[in-house]
């Protein structure tokens, strides 16, 4: 998803289709942004690479820095899950940890300098594309509904929509809203960070702002603060939704 047309309409830049992000049309699936696809692939490979390296280097003795960081994340997720649903919910820890690390890497990719004059970011943060965040949200919510049926039975799953009966429509709307809010929250914050970064990059040339490193400072702030916070919020909401499924809404 390119912001060049938006900037052109706002008078903050020019839009040249030949320098826009490369897209591939897959027919009914619509155009696919190659930059986003590459970013997702790099983030996925990074997660797999770290997992394989940990498997090779893991030790019961004094852990290395990578193992210590991973154990810290896993421990924090386990504590959060246990406080919400007890040991019966520990099965979702691998999913929650994987989501956190993967989303974090997706958010951090935008910090890699892959721009040049006349071109957009070659490797944008894929979480700044609504298609990416929607796919993650739908995956989580489908697993939540499956878990609810598996843990409590299909009758209990249907019954919770009528608890109380007068709230049936509101309960249905709430379930529909969950993937929407989960996707839009992550997308909106990362997309806004990308907009701010591009606007800042145009400020010196447009308004002669004497802050040459302003865009670098914002990119670091966005990546080191906003990125981890949004990955944490997505993971926390995932655990919260699974908590309702495991405990039957209690």
pLDDT band at 202 (very low <50, low <70, confident <90, very high): low
150: pLDDT confidence band, cut at 50, 70 and 90? Answer: very high
* pLDDT at residue 218 is higher than 60: yes
Residue 237 pLDDT grade (very low, low, confident, very high; cuts 50, 70, 90): very high
Confidence of residue 166 (pLDDT cuts 50, 70, 90): confident
pLDDT the model gives residue 215: 58
Q: Which residues contact 8 (CB under 8 A, 6 or more apart)?
A: 14, 15
pLDDT tens, position by position, 59-91: 888 888 889 999 999 999 999 999 988 888 899
Nearest to 163 by CA among 148, 179, 147: 148
Those residues with Cβ within 8 angstroms of residue 239's Cβ, 6 or more apart along the chain or in another chain: 77, 80, 81, 84, 89, 92, 96
pLDDT score for 7: 39
Q: In this predicted model, which residue has the larger pLDDT, 83 or 203? A: 83
Task: Please tell me the least confidently modeled range out of 117-131, 135-149, 167-181.
Answer: 117-131
Q: For 23-57, what is each residue's pLDDT tens digit?
A: 666 666 667 777 788 889 999 999 999 999 988 88
In the prediction, which pLDDT does 61 show?
81
Task: Give the length of the chain.
Answer: 250
Phi, psi (5° rounding) for residue 32? Answer: -110, 125
pLDDT of residue 225: 81
pTM: 0.80
pLDDT at residue 203 in the model: 63
For residue 13, the model assigns a pLDDT of 38
Question: What's the pLDDT score for residue 12?
Answer: 38
> Facing residues of 32 across strands?
24
Q: Mean pLDDT score of the chain, rounded to an integer?
A: 80
């Amino acid at each position: 998803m390119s912001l060049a047309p938006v900037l052109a309409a706002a008078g903050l830049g020019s839009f040249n289709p030949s320098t826009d992000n490369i897209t591939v049309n897959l027919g009914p699936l619509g155009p696919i942004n190659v930059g986003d696809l590459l970013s997702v692939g790099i983030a996925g490979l990074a997660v797999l690479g770290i997992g394989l390296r940990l498997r090779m280097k893991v030790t019961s003795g004094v852990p290395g820095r990578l193992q210590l960081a991973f154990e810290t994340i896993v421990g924090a997720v386990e504590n959060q899950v246990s406080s919400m649903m007890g040991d019966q919910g520990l099965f979702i820890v691998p999913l929650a940890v994987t989501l956190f690390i993967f989303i974090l890497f997706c958010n951090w990719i935008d910090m890699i300098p892959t721009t040049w004059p006349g071109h957009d970011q070659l490797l944008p943060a894929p979480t700044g594309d609504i298609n990416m965040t929607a796919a993650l949200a739908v995956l989580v919510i489908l697993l939540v509904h499956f878990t609810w049926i598996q843990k409590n039975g299909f009758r209990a799953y249907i019954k919770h929509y009528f608890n109380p009966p007068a709230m049936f429509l509101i309960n249905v709307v709430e379930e529909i809203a969950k993937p929407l809010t989960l996707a839009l929250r992550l997308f909106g914050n990362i997309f806004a960070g990308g907009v701010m970064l591009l606007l800042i990059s145009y400020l010196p040339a447009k308004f002669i702002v004497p802050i040459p490193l302003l865009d670098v400072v914002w990119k670091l702030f966005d990546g080191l603060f906003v990125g981890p916070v949004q990955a944490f919020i997505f993971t926390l909401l995932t655990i919260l939704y699974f908590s309702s499924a495991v405990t039957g809404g209690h």
